[in-house]
């Protein structure tokens, strides 16, 4: 049974990949994160996810890489969604469910379910809705018990570990904002 695993970044992918490959799952990773910017950050996260994929010998599929910055800044999404996070989860779960369905995968899941900082139940509910919409199974896996272990694995192989979720709003709200901007300049 083939699984398409949406991944937001290398560090969050480490534990799910260790677990799933250890179970002998037939899987590929799907990168679709137009919420992440600036472009430098998007590239850095993609490159580090590729390192994680290579580490576990899993294929990485690159989805559409457009950034919807103007859409977010306009706040037009609030006409359809309660929050920017709702919009972000919906956009990404829709893309992975559609891709999984159109490309012969039996199911999909997401590494967003590893982070204790994400809205876990909301992600799962949105993913279930998208699974029904595209007639593909959503494989719910609570990866949170392995979050710290995954972060340790990421550190061991030298992955970049970010300090904000990826969207411009979380960057501006991060207590590490100035340090993050300096890292863009140094990169």
Element at 6 (helix H, strand E): strand 2-6
Q: Is the pLDDT of residue 183 over 70?
A: no
Element at 114 (helix H, strand E): none
Tokens found for residue 79: 């006409």
DSSP letter string, 20-73: HHHTT-EEEEEE--TT--SHHHHHHHHHHHHHHHHHHT--EEE------HHHHH
CA distances from 81 to 15, 20, 59, 86, 96 (A): 31, 32, 33, 6, 19
Q: Does residue 100 lie within any of the structural domains?
A: yes
Q: Does residue 169 lie within any of the structural domains?
A: no
**CATH number of the domain encompassing residue 85:** 3.40.50.620
Of residues 132 and 38, the one with the higher pLDDT is 132
Q: Does residue 187 lie within any of the structural domains?
A: no
- pLDDT tens sequence across 95-150: 999 999 999 999 999 999 999 989 999 999 999 999 999 999 999 999 999 999 99
Q: Does residue 10 lie within any of the structural domains?
A: yes
pTM value is: 0.86
Ranges 70-79, 108-117, 175-184: which has the least confidence? 175-184
Q: What is the mean pLDDT of residues 20-31?
A: 97
pLDDT of residue 23: 97
Element at 109 (helix H, strand E): strand 107-110
Q: Is the pLDDT of residue 40 over 80?
A: no
Supply the range of the domain harboring residue 20.
2-160
How many domains is the chain built from? 1
Q: Does residue 167 lie within any of the structural domains?
A: no
């Amino acid at each position: 049974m083939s699984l398409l695993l949406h991944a937001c970044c290398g560090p969050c992918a480490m534990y799910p990949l260790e677990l799933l490959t250890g179970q002998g799952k037939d899987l590929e990773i799907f990168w679709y994160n137009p919420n992440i910017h600036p472009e430098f950050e998007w590239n850095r996260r993609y490159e580090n996810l590729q390192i994680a994929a290579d580490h576990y010998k899993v294929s990485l599929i690159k989805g559409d890489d457009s950034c919807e910055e103007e859409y977010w800044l306009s706040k037009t999404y609030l006409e359809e969604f309660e929050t920017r996070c709702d919009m972000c989860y919906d956009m990404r779960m829709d893309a992975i469910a559609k891709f999984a369905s159109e490309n012969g995968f039996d199911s999909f899941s997401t590494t967003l379910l590893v982070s204790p900082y994400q809205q876990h139940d909301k992600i799962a509910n949105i993913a279930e809705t998208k699974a029904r919409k595209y007639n593909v199974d959503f494989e719910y896996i609570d990866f949170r018990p392995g979050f710290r272990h995954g972060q340790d694995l990421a550190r061991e192989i030298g992955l970049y570990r970010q300090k904000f979720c990826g969207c411009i709003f979380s960057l501006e709200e991060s207590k590490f904002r100035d340090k993050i901007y300096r890292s863009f300049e140094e990169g």
